[in-house]
């Protein structure tokens, strides 16, 4: 009985790769299975070969194991077959045994805005010599939670590659509404640029990068910096909302994130005819223009929290404006796919981001 249940359990678990998640726990399970399923796929493949060869305990068990293995391997196959430059190619074994988090010097810079402490974690680019480009890193969390230390492994990676990284702090909703968080990031950016010599920053090479809600903040903070005359070289946005009006209009109460509640809390008002202009002001898709820096957007097609529609619509808008943009659609990835530093999608992300940063 137990041996008969095992292939069924593996098969049911593998379905998380292809079936949408409808609850927060389902999303977390889906995220874990997608990012680590290749190990389960190896186990299923071994069990399948044994069952098919020995015909024990049943030939059908081997087929079920094989189907489960195929589903578990789908995310890895997608990453391995993506159109990337030869410098980005990663050997198969690197996905199973990826690099560890590199080391870099980290300092906490005291920073205040209007008497409020908004400290900055600064990761110094590795290597001596000339001023280094700066990546402003902005965390996500539906605008209501999160902190600058979230997913800091990428910060160490970029610093080890020679980039300065500033993980900034911004105030959270509902205590502070839009455009408060944008203003916080903009003030931190101005402070860093004004003190660029102290921190070995090249003010002519500034990048903004954000995850989820942090991507929306990164977009508008970068556009603000451009209007001030700062040299923003690029914007990297990961699975971020770009059209807040659409995010409210298509939302349903059963969704993992209720856009009407979450976005309404961030903006401080519900969407109606009188607040529509405010929602447009907070939506990158309505704010990009002919001066907008080049973009790298990375989004999972299977994202149930922030639909890939946002990145697709922003990409279309940027192309209409004649602005350079690259959109990477990860076929099986869901929201927060880079949560695990050593997972395949996260490994792909690091290489793609590094190539984008090196293009200037």
Q: Is residue 285 within 8 Å of residue 247, measured between CB atoms?
A: no
pLDDT at 30 > cutoff 70:
yes
For residue 224, what are the CA distances in angstroms to 73, 276, 280, 306?
42, 21, 15, 24
| DSSP type of residue 296 | E
SS3 category, 95 = helix
> By C-alpha distance, which of 165, 249, 181 is closest to 214?
181
Cβ proximity of 297 and 232 under 8 Å: no
Residue range 228-266, pLDDT digits in tens = 999 999 999 999 999 999 999 988 766 778 889 999 999
Q: Which two three-digit tokens encode residue 215?
A: 């991507």
CA distance 351 to 101: 14
pLDDT per residue as tens digits for the range 111-141? 999 889 999 999 999 988 789 999 999 999 9
* Cα–Cα separations (whole angstroms), residue 295 to 159, 231, 324, 347: 21, 14, 6, 20
Q: Using CA atoms, how far apart are residues 44 and 68, in angstroms rounded to an integer?
A: 7
- Which pLDDT band, with edges at 50, 70 and 90, does 3 fall under? low
Backbone angles phi, psi at 16, to 5 degrees: -60, -25
Quick check: 66 and 32 in contact, CB under 8 A?
no
pLDDT above 90 coverage of the chain, percent: 80
What pLDDT does residue 258 have?
87
Query: Both tokens of residue 40?
Result: 């389960």
**Whole-prediction pTM:** 0.94
CB 42 within 8 A of CB 97: no
With beta carbons less than 8 A apart as the criterion, state whether 309 and 251 touch: no
φ, ψ at 249 (rounded to 5°): -65, -30
Overall average pLDDT of the 206-225 stretch: 98
Residues 265, 258: Cα–Cα separation, whole Å: 11
Structure tokens at 254: 């059963």
Sort strands 120-123 and 106-109 into parallel, antiparallel or unpaired.
antiparallel
Both tokens assigned to 58: 């049943």
The DSSP 8-state label assigned to residue 306 in this structure reads S
Query: For residue range 163-215, what is the model confidence (pLDDT) as tens digits?
Result: 999 999 999 999 999 999 999 999 999 999 999 999 999 999 999 999 999 99
Fold of 102-357: Rossmann fold (3.40.50)
Tell me which residue of 84, 19, 1 sits closest to 334, measured CA to CA.
19
Query: What residue spans define the domains of the chain?
Result: 2-81, 102-357
Confirm if 287 and 226 have CB atoms less than 8 A apart: no
Q: Are 171 and 116 in contact (CB under 8 A)?
A: yes
């Amino acid at each position: 009985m137990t041996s008969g249940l095992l292939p069924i359990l593996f098969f049911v678990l593998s379905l998380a790769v292809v079936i949408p998640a409808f609850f927060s726990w389902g999303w977390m399970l889906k995220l874990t299975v997608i990012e680590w399923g290749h190990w389960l796929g190896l186990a299923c493949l071994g069990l399948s070969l044994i069952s098919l060869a020995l015909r024990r305990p049943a030939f059908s068990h081997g087929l079920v194991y094989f189907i489960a293995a195929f589903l578990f391997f789908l995310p890895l196959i997608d990453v391995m077959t993506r159109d990337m430059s030869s410098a980005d190619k990663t050997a198969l074994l690197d996905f199973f045994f990826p690099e560890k988090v590199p080391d870099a010097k980290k300092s906490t810079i005291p920073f205040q805005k209007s008497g409020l402490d908004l400290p900055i974690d600064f990761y110094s680019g590795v290597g001596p010599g000339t001023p280094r480009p700066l990546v402003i890193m902005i965390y996500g969390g539906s605008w209501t939670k999160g902190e600058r230390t979230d997913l800091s492994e990428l910060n160490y990676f970029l610093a080890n590659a020679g980039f300065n990284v500033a993980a900034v702090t911004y105030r959270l909703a509902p205590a502070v509404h839009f455009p408060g968080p944008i203003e916080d990031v903009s003030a931190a950016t101005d402070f860093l640029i004004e003190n660029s010599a102290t921190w070995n920053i090249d003010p002519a090479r500034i990048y903004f990068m954000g995850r989820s809600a942090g991507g929306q903040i990164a977009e508008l903070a970068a556009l603000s910096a451009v209007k001030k005359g700062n040299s923003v070289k690029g914007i990297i946005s990961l699975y971020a909302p770009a059209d807040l009006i659409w995010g409210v209009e298509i939302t349903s109460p059963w969704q993992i994130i209720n856009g009407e509640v979450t976005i309404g809390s961030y903006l401080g008002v519900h969407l109606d005819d009188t607040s529509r202009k405010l929602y447009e002001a907070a939506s990158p898709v309505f704010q990009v223009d002919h001066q907008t820096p080049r973009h790298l957007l990375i989004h999972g097609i299977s994202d149930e929290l922030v639909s890939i529609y946002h990145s697709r619509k922003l990409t279309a808008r940027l192309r209409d404006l004649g602005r350079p943009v690259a959109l990477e659609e990860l076929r099986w990835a869901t929201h927060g796919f880079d949560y695990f530093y050593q997972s395949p999608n996260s490994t792909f992300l690091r290489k793609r981001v590094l190539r984008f940063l090196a293009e200037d």
